[in-house]
A and B are shown apart, each in its own frame.
Chain A
Amino acid sequence: MKRKGVFLTLGITFVSVIILTLASLILRNAESSEERITELASFDRLYNLDRSLGKVYKEILLNITNFNITINESFIKVDKFFTANESVSDLDRTIIDVLFALFYSHTIYEGFTYILSTVTNEYIWLNFDYPSMSLLYYQIKAGNATNPNNPFGVTGINKILALLTNTKLVRNYTIIVKHDSLNGTINWTVYTPEPNPCDNAYNNTIGCGHTLNVTVLGPGGWVNSSMRMINITSPQNELLSQAIHIIGYGTNINNTPLLGLSSGGFFSGYVAYGVVNYQNNLTVTLIIDYYPDKKIKLGLFGEIITIDIAPLGVKKYGPIRIF
């Protein structure tokens, strides 16, 4: 009985401490919640800036150039509709050059450039300037008004076209062509483009003083059952004064085409594909399927975006991406 007061005091103190502890826990939870709010808001900000920046570039390109860009996980397509009497201009070529110079992907090294150098009624010359790139796959095909499905007007032959641009150092340039067929022949021709008279410099040397070597690698010309590798080297790391074109005419043992859309799905890796179809709609598509799990990104090279929110540990250093 005498200790009842003590127990009462202790009890009240105990209850008070419990209340204080609960309040402290609630406060702590609220502080944690506040941090989450700030972090989520920061990520939202980062996301919005990144996406809107890409959208800005896409809008600028579309509005200024009239070229529409389509990007999905396997290709980048740039297309423009031409009126009946309109032809591809130098500006159009420059625009495509710029668009693909914007190309960026983790699956392709930085520095990849792409130039639409010539468009005729037969085909589009695609000019690749990437001397240090070791894997490059591409296909050229062009339609015409009379028969868009047989663009070259020739049965059994299509072309692979590689152009090493001028005024660039050329060294160990390797082209790999992958094909479903187990056997076949690709006859490679290396020459300098018109109107230069140095055409038809066949085999392993190039006319007009160039000393590039062209070698077919792999056993029997095939790297494996479905891949062929062409290696082009310049021992002097030669600075070319003009473009060099390498054209492959592919036929299999039955003299049917190895290369061409009709065969379908036989290219792998990096494929650039240009079409002038009967609707006068120029479409240049860069297909990337060598790393199918990678997403394509189109953007400016280098770390253009620099966002660093140090207190939150939120950072982004990267290129501008066009989605």
Chain B
Amino acid sequence: MEIIKLNKKRGLIFSLDAAIAVTVVVIILITSAYYLSTASKESTSQVQLIRMGNDLLHILEFTGALDNAVKADIGSPPYSAAASPTATISTSLVNVSQYLPASYKALIEISDIKESLISDTTITNCSSLPAPNPISCCSLLGCNGSFNVSTLPLNRAGNYHLLVHTRAPPSNITPFISGIKGNVSVVLSILDYNRFASTYPVPFSLGINSDLRLNVSYGVADWFKILGENAYSANTSIKIPNNLTFMGTGERLFAYVIQDFFDQPRYARFYIWIE
């Protein structure tokens, strides 16, 4: 009796069996297709892209393009740097397209080109020096006395060197400068002309640091920068697309030296991709 019933439902069972089999197969095929599509995104050949970027940086250094970008920012000796908190490297100075195949794109970034201005509008908690120094902290040339300055928003917390640029008064007495960051004393020593650098790295936190206090006498300070931090880097104007499957990066150091004037070592970084 039961066998007769089953025989009558044979079509139903066949259909169910077929449906389950098809479902299982489809699930497995979809999973396989997903795995295969994921796998196809990566390839060791992409290392070639990174090496091309390294070669590109080498060429830009060799041809002096990186030096030209720095020179355009800081001017000529004896170092009359103009503070440039929003610096962009001109494509005419660093033209990567002439070295790259079609559809290859690259962004070049150079560290320590931007600066933070020290002026009436950027400093806080100013205590001016006693006479004969100016009563107000700032003039058109910069600020002196004791005051707080704010950094650009740092991308990463860490220990960084601080570089402060000063201008001597007409009497040409070398400015004197010291600082404090939170509770940490910042010892600054003169590099050349008007530049002072921290003797030891100073701890900075993520984002804007506004607890850096500078004490400037015998002159004014007009800008400062946190060395090696991406917030103070400038880059070429090309925009990195959002939908990239792969982008190669790398960096090297280079020295800007002109007319026996050594500025400082800088990082040049590249971001390279195929459009």
- Interfacial residues, chain A to chain B (CB-CB below 8 A): 5, 8-9, 12-13, 16-17, 19-20, 22-24, 26-27, 29-31, 33-34, 36-37, 40-41, 44-45, 48-49, 51-53, 55-56, 59-60, 63-64
- Inside 8 A of B50's CB, which chain A residues have their CB? 40-41, 44
Q: How far is the CA of A5 from the CA of B20 in the complex (A)?
A: 13
Interface contact B29-A19, CB-CB below 8 Å: yes
- Please classify the interface of chain B as helix (H, G, I), strand (E, B), loop, or mixed, using the class held by over half of its residues: helix
How many residue-residue contacts, CB under 8 A, span A and B?
105
**Interface pair A44/B35, CB less than 8 Å apart:** no
List 6 interface pairs A-B (beta carbons < 8 Å), by A numbering. A5-B14, A9-B17, A31-B39, A31-B42, A51-B252, A63-B262
Q: Which 7 A-B pairs have the closest CB atoms?
A: A30-B39, A23-B32, A52-B252, A23-B35, A16-B28, A63-B257, A27-B35
Residues of A within 8 Å of B254, CB to CB, are 52, 55-56
How many angstroms between the C-alpha atoms of A193 and B53 in the bound complex? 57
- Residue in chain A with minimal CB distance to B31: A20
A16-B25, A23-B32 are known contacts. Are A44 and B253 too (CB-CB below 8 A)? Answer: no
Q: Once the chains bind, are B21 and A12 in contact (CB under 8 Å)?
A: yes
Whether B42 lies near A30 (C-beta < 8 A) is yes
Q: Does B230 make an interface contact (CB < 8 A)? A: no
Q: Are B265 and A64 in contact, with the CB atoms below 8 A?
A: no
Kindly state the separation between the CA atoms of A12 and B29 in the bound complex, as whole angstroms.
11
Nearest CB of chain A from residue B184's CB, rounded to whole Å: 21
The residue on B at minimum CB distance from A24 is: B35
A90 CB, min distance to chain B CBs, angstroms: 18
Contact at A48–B35, with CB atoms within 8 Å? no
Query: Distance in Å from the Cβ of A16 to the closest Cβ of chain B?
Result: 4
Residue of B nearest to A51 (CB): B252
Q: Does residue B242 face the partner (Cβ distance < 8 Å to A)?
A: no
* Distance in angstroms between the alpha carbons of A40 and B38 in the assembled complex: 21
CA distance A69 to B21 in the complex (A): 76
Contact B255 A56 (CB under 8 A): yes
Measured in the bound complex, the distance between the Cα atoms of B61 and A169 in whole Å is 46
